Amino acid sequence: MISRRETLAGAVAGAMQTLHAAPARPNVVLFLADDLGCHDLGAWGATDLKTPNLDALAAGGVRFTNWYAAAPVCAPSRASLLTGRYPIRAGVPDNGPPLRASEQTIAQVLKPAGYATGLFGKWHLGDTAETDPNAHGFDRFFGFHSGCIDYYSHRYYWGDPRVPNYHDLWRDRTEIFEDGQYATELFAREAAQFLRDHRADPFFAYVPFNAPHYPMHAPQKYMQRFPAVEPERQTYAAMIAALDDGVGQVLRTLRELRLEQNTLVLFSADNGATREARAGLHGKPATAGNNAPFRGNKFSAFDGGMHVPMIMNWPGVIPKGMVVREVGSHLDLMPTIAKLAGVTPPTDRTLDGSDALPLVLENAKSRHDAIFWSSGGQLAVRRGNWKLVKDGKTFDGTPDGNKALTGDDALFLSNVDEDPGESVNLRHRFPQVADELSTMMMKWADEVKR
Amino acid sequence: MISRRETLAGAVAGAMQTLHAAPARPNVVLFLADDLGCHDLGAWGATDLKTPNLDALAAGGVRFTNWYAAAPVCAPSRASLLTGRYPIRAGVPDNGPPLRASEQTIAQVLKPAGYATGLFGKWHLGDTAETDPNAHGFDRFFGFHSGCIDYYSHRYYWGDPRVPNYHDLWRDRTEIFEDGQYATELFAREAAQFLRDHRADPFFAYVPFNAPHYPMHAPQKYMQRFPAVEPERQTYAAMIAALDDGVGQVLRTLRELRLEQNTLVLFSADNGATREARAGLHGKPATAGNNAPFRGNKFSAFDGGMHVPMIMNWPGVIPKGMVVREVGSHLDLMPTIAKLAGVTPPTDRTLDGSDALPLVLENAKSRHDAIFWSSGGQLAVRRGNWKLVKDGKTFDGTPDGNKALTGDDALFLSNVDEDPGESVNLRHRFPQVADELSTMMMKWADEVKR
């Protein structure tokens, strides 16, 4: 019997096209940022931030420049990322509902292949014995169930201020106290330990940091890296710097364990940056995060809401410095990872993604004819370079930003290749495209609810 | 020229009655707890809590068993404590308004006598250059301006959850970060340092801890002292244990500096324990703090709202183990401390208290003919053992608790000596008393507004 590592080495040494056939069961580390502006990474062009570890990860692998979250808001985005199903199908159309027990996550799908599975950070998909991370295939959970926590006390404070706020830090189903420790650093520490504990197993480490989601707070050591940046952006930059350090710590551990060649590392975000006042410092629409050149923000069906960075890195397998412009989606992660692990995703339900590695390894075209979104009364579709948004909202932090565009712009057609900011409505110039996409979108919206 | 210490030693050695004449300028340390149930101290009879330092402080000095805050809620209580004036007179009838620049605090009054003045903890009376602690006579301020903070991140979270929460920890007017450090311990540390820095000066250290005010959170080392106490009360007990340790740290410092004989140490609370759900763990009326046998809770004009513990300790001056049953009030602290320091309180305005030390040193009777309260639509008066409450509310955590008693009980007369729980309405048995107190109270309410 040959070892897992030898099998993998053979696969890597062989033709890349044969990779998918190799029963290599590589490790997978999936980092996720929270409310990160798509271009708020050095590797995506940011010059005032410092993300050396993520930049190196991107330089050593592939950047997807047309990658999308399946929703512009936390919980549905995560539900789709983990299940490979559109949010509505997965039962999480918006923040609020848990991920029902019948949904199958990547972790659950990997278990039969012998994977150790761990989640280190934010779950946001339920806190009962039927819906928590342990119920959804994670052997180990260190993190919190809610949408965000105070970074030091790990308390959830965003309910009605008259009701109790509560402490929300758990190791599996046991509440634990790491009072005063910065959450981002805790999650990195625990993820690194998980790698050490499972160096001999195939593992899936899902590391959804809470950063740079509000509350806007970072240790001074990170703040001091950005002395010239204005305070709101400085805080955001510092929170991302802590995240980047955390990524670095995990990647260093991978290297120390000599698992680098055997591990697919992914980095993405759940949705775009937000303009919510509570993500700022001044009681005005937050300006910390930057979705430019995209239009819209977290919650928006314009690209600012869910056009996210995606890095895939796998030394020896994924070429260095590659850029993929084909459309990809968080929906693709389940089939991508399942294929690598040699397991079959659930066949008793509709999955909405497809293996993304051929886009990298075979220069394949996206297998998505179109991808769709439904969020907060908005509908959207992207097909090729066309993007159509119905009843789009920008969520720019003003009261008007919470309202749907009206008149002609209630249906907004863009060519996002030429106009990534979705600034020019082409619906009257290309009525047939608008009509066709609209029909597809309405059909999808109807079908996905069933 | 004789030293200050020699002068004091002479005063202490002399007849106690002469103390007030001695130009001794003793130090004053004033500890304050926040939302503490009156009997939630070992020295007041609690058996499930552990407050050894406060118990020793009480055993070594005097306990006042009929001491009152001037309001059943934070800011007005503190405004009166610091100015010696009823909340309405001091311009702080309820939480909200700052302490206006024209008000004179104990710290301001002590400055001409050469006192070093420091505040370590909660201010809650303004955050502008005209209203902050430095503006009100405190040379040194280490603490926060708001009503409460997360104990680890020092952020204020109790506004509209859609607006920014904010970091609120300051050294004088400079925002400082002590991220992850438990606030109660920080305040004790800073107070102790202040004593060391001013060992050669007369000093006034005002140490208003935030404990045991929500958020309900204490380090595990304190939680572990109460393994058999149910979690909500356990958390409260642990927060008080941290406070008690902090008191111990400051008192130890006093001893190390050999200033014990030269320092009047006071301990009290701003108001009674609260039943607000957010001060509990379960979304129900909080049960952590205990105002029994008193009726009502924080916000209430019944005794549960503002009947508070008061300890005065001054080795060699105040007898050990003494109990004073005469009525005293936070209003008395300004005249008491001013007299000790040999300074004159402001004479251009009405002060509502009187020197409390004669109650201790001369077995004098309370100089208060009556004391009054006005809070949240309630009026109350205590005169001798009579207490009259008009439109009283119990604030028991239920919706009804926020409503005034109706019918006969809209005017509630008690003999608080026989019935400390204000359970039997004597208005019809003693109509003349009720009438007399009511008339006094209405007259006061009218007069105090002018």
For position B319, which CATH number holds?
3.40.720.10
Residues of B in contact with A215 (CB under 8 A): 153, 155, 157, 165
**Residue B450, pLDDT score:** 81
Instruction: Work out the minimum CA distance from B153 to partner chain A, whole angstroms.
Output: 5
A14 part of a folded domain: no
Question: Is the predicted pLDDT of residue B71 greater than 70, yes or no?
Answer: yes
Q: Mean pLDDT over residues A258-284, rounded?
A: 95
Please report the DSSP string for A319-366 in residue order.
PTTEEE-S-EEGGGHHHHHHHHHT-PPPSSS-------HHHHHS-PPP
Task: For residue B16, name the pLDDT band (cuts at 50, 70, 90).
Answer: very low
**Residue A43, pLDDT score:** 97
A6 part of a folded domain: no
Residue type, A213: H
Task: For residue B22, name the pLDDT band (cuts at 50, 70, 90).
Answer: very low
Answer for the pair B408, B398: CB distance below 8 angstroms, yes or no: no
**Residue A161, pLDDT score:** 77
Backbone angles phi, psi at A83, to 5 degrees: -105, -20
Indicate if A315 and A390 belong to the same structural domain: no
Contact criterion met (CB < 8 Å) for B161 and A159: yes
Answer for the pair A285, A396: CB distance below 8 angstroms, yes or no: yes
Residues of A in contact with B213 (CB under 8 A): none
Share of chain B above pLDDT 70, in %: 95
Kindly provide the ipTM of the predicted complex, given to two decimals.
0.91
Cα(A165)–Cα(A159) distance, integer angstroms: 7
Indicate if A46 and A125 belong to the same structural domain: yes
Question: Is the predicted pLDDT of residue B15 greater than 60, yes or no?
Answer: no
**Residue A363, pLDDT score:** 95
The catalytically annotated residue of B39, B124, B154, B330 is B124
Q: What is the mean pLDDT of chain B?
A: 94
> How do beta strands A140-144 and A116-122 pair?
parallel
Question: Is the predicted pLDDT of residue A322 greater than 70, yes or no?
Answer: yes
Which residues have a Cβ under 8 Å from the Cβ of B375 and sit 6 or more positions away? B71, B72, B73, B76, B87, B93, B94, B299, B301, B305
Q: Give me the number of domains chain B comprises.
A: 2
B89 part of a folded domain: yes
Task: For residue B3, name the pLDDT band (cuts at 50, 70, 90).
Answer: very low
Cα(B63)–Cα(B392) distance, integer angstroms: 28
Task: For residue B24, name the pLDDT band (cuts at 50, 70, 90).
Answer: confident
The catalytically annotated residue of A74, A213, A307, A330 is A74
pLDDT tens profile B292-332 = 999 999 999 999 999 999 999 999 999 999 999 999 999 99
Question: Is the predicted pLDDT of residue A12 greater than 50, yes or no?
Answer: no
Residue, of A236 and B13, whose pLDDT is higher:
A236
Indicate if A357 and A381 belong to the same structural domain: no
Indicate if B357 and B375 belong to the same structural domain: no
Residues of A in contact with B283 (CB under 8 A): 163-164
Which residues have a Cβ under 8 Å from the Cβ of A253 and sit 6 or more positions away? A192, A195, A196
Q: Write the secondary structure of chain B as one string of H (helix), E (strand) and C (coil).
A: CCCHHHHHHHHHHCCHHHHHHCCCCCEEEEEEECCCCCCCCHHHCCCCCCCHHHHHHHHCCEEEEEEECCCCCHHHHHHHHHHCCCCCCCCCCCCCCCCCCCCCCHHHHHHHHCCEEEEEEECCCCCCCCCCHHHHCCCEEEEECCCCCCCCCCEECCCCCCCCCEECCEECCEECCCCCCCHHHHHHHHHHHHHHHCCCCCEEEEEECCCCCCCCCCCHHHHCCCCCCCHHHHHHHHHHHHHHHHHHHHHHHHHHCCCHHHEEEEEEECCCCCCCHHHCCCCCCCCCCCCCCCCCCCCCCCHHHHEEEEEEECCCCCCCCEEECCCEEHHHHHHHHHHHHCCCCCCCCCCCCCCCHHHHHCCCCCCCCCEEEEECCEEEEEECCEEEEECCCCCCCCHHHHCCCCHHHHEEEEECCCCCCCCCCCCCCCHHHHHHHHHHHHHHHHHHCC
Nearest chain A residue (CA) to B153: A152
A416 part of a folded domain: yes
pLDDT tens profile A181-208 = 999 999 999 999 999 999 999 999 999 9
Mutate which of B148, B151, B152 to test chain A, going by most A C-beta atoms within 10 A? Answer: B152
CB B416: neighbour CB atoms within 10 A?
20
Q: Which of A308, A331, A361 is the last residue of a domain?
A: A361
Please, which residues bridge with residue A67 across strands? A308, A328
Q: Which of B306, B334, B361 is the last residue of a domain?
A: B361
Catalytic residue status for A124: yes
Indicate the SS3 state at residue A141. strand
**Residue A4, pLDDT score:** 43
Residue, of B222 and A7, whose pLDDT is higher:
B222
Task: For residue B23, name the pLDDT band (cuts at 50, 70, 90).
Answer: very low
Indicate the SS3 state at residue A123. coil
Instruction: Work out the minimum CA distance from B159 to partner chain A, whole angstroms.
Output: 7
Cα(A174)–Cα(B304) distance, integer angstroms: 37
Residue, of A3 and B311, whose pLDDT is higher:
B311
**Residue A16, pLDDT score:** 44
Instruction: Work out the minimum CA distance from B191 to partner chain A, whole angstroms.
Output: 21
**Residue A13, pLDDT score:** 41
Question: Is the predicted pLDDT of residue B11 greater than 90, yes or no?
Answer: no
Indicate if B323 and B397 belong to the same structural domain: no
Nearest chain B residue (CA) to A181: B180
Contact criterion met (CB < 8 Å) for B216 and A162: no
**Residue A8, pLDDT score:** 44
Indicate if B377 and B354 belong to the same structural domain: no
Of A159, A167, A220, the CB nearest to B177: A220
Instruction: Work out the minimum CA distance from B152 to partner chain A, whole angstroms.
Output: 5
pLDDT tens profile A73-130 = 999 999 999 999 999 999 999 999 999 999 999 999 999 999 999 999 999 999 999 9
> How do beta strands A62-68 and B166-167 pair?
unpaired
Q: Please give the residue range of the domain that contains residue B324.
A: 23-361
Answer for the pair B296, B272: CB distance below 8 angstroms, yes or no: yes
Instruction: Work out the minimum CA distance from B283 to partner chain A, whole angstroms.
Output: 6
The catalytically annotated residue of B74, B198, B307, B368 is B74
Indicate if B286 and B333 belong to the same structural domain: yes
Indicate if B152 and B105 belong to the same structural domain: yes
| Token pair of B108 as six digits | 């301001």
Residues of A in contact with B151 (CB under 8 A): 153
A9 part of a folded domain: no
Q: Mean pLDDT over residues A355-384, rounded?
A: 97
Give, in degrees to the nearest 5, the angle at Cα B302 between B300 and B308. Answer: 90
Of B150, B166, B277, the CB nearest to A164: B277
| Residue pairs between chains A and B whose CB atoms are closer than 8 Å | 102
Answer for the pair B61, B320: CB distance below 8 angstroms, yes or no: yes
Mutate which of B278, B284, B299 to test chain A, going by most A C-beta atoms within 10 A? Answer: B278
Indicate if B259 and B333 belong to the same structural domain: yes
| Token pair of A423 as six digits | 């600034």
Please report the DSSP string for A243-279 in residue order.
HHHHHHHHHHHHHHTT-GGGEEEEEEESS-----GGG
Contact criterion met (CB < 8 Å) for B152 and A215: no
Q: Which of A361, A383, A398 is the last residue of a domain?
A: A361
Please report the DSSP string for A54-113 in residue order.
HHHHHHTSEEEEEEE-SSSSHHHHHHHHHHSS-TTTTT-SSSSS---TT---HHHHHGGG
Residues of B in contact with A216 (CB under 8 A): 164
Contact criterion met (CB < 8 Å) for A158 and B161: yes
Contact criterion met (CB < 8 Å) for A164 and B281: yes
CATH number at residue B429: 3.30.1120.10
Indicate if A131 and A32 belong to the same structural domain: yes
Name the percent of chain A in helix, strand, coil, to the closest 5: 35, 20, 50
Contact criterion met (CB < 8 Å) for B161 and A160: yes
Catalytic residue status for A154: no
Answer for the pair B330, B74: CB distance below 8 angstroms, yes or no: no
pLDDT tens profile A245-261 = 999 999 999 999 999 99
Answer for the pair B109, B347: CB distance below 8 angstroms, yes or no: no
Please, which residues bridge with residue B174 across strands? B171
Which residues have a Cβ under 8 Å from the Cβ of A50 and sit 6 or more positions away? A42, A225, A226, A237, A241, A244
Indicate if B162 and B255 belong to the same structural domain: yes
B7 part of a folded domain: no
Task: For residue A177, name the pLDDT band (cuts at 50, 70, 90).
Answer: very high
Question: Is the predicted pLDDT of residue B226 greater than 90, yes or no?
Answer: yes
**CA torsion, points A145, A147, A148, A149, in degrees to nearest 10?**
-40
**Residue A221, pLDDT score:** 98
CB B448: neighbour CB atoms within 10 A?
17
Q: What is the mean pLDDT of chain A?
A: 94
Cα(A269)–Cα(A267) distance, integer angstroms: 7
How far, in Å, are A242, A244, A269, A270, A411 from residue A212 at the CA level?
Answer: 9, 11, 10, 11, 32
Task: For residue A162, name the pLDDT band (cuts at 50, 70, 90).
Answer: confident
B332 part of a folded domain: yes
pLDDT tens profile B280-302 = 999 899 999 999 999 999 999 99
Indicate if A112 and A252 belong to the same structural domain: yes
Residue type, A302: F
Contact criterion met (CB < 8 Å) for B182 and A181: no
Burial class for A285, CB neighbours closer than 10 Å (0-12, 13-18, 19+): middle
Task: For residue A17, name the pLDDT band (cuts at 50, 70, 90).
Answer: very low
Nearest chain A residue (CA) to B278: A164
pLDDT tens profile B160-215 = 877 789 999 999 999 999 999 999 999 999 999 999 999 999 999 999 999 999 99
Of B165, B180, B278, the CB nearest to A162: B278
B12 part of a folded domain: no
CB A127: neighbour CB atoms within 10 A?
16
Task: For residue A47, name the pLDDT band (cuts at 50, 70, 90).
Answer: very high
Instruction: Work out the minimum CA distance from A227 to partner chain B, whole angstroms.
Output: 16
pLDDT tens profile A346-358 = 999 999 999 999 9
Answer for the pair B342, B349: CB distance below 8 angstroms, yes or no: no
Nearest chain B residue (CA) to A161: B158
Contact criterion met (CB < 8 Å) for B153 and A215: yes
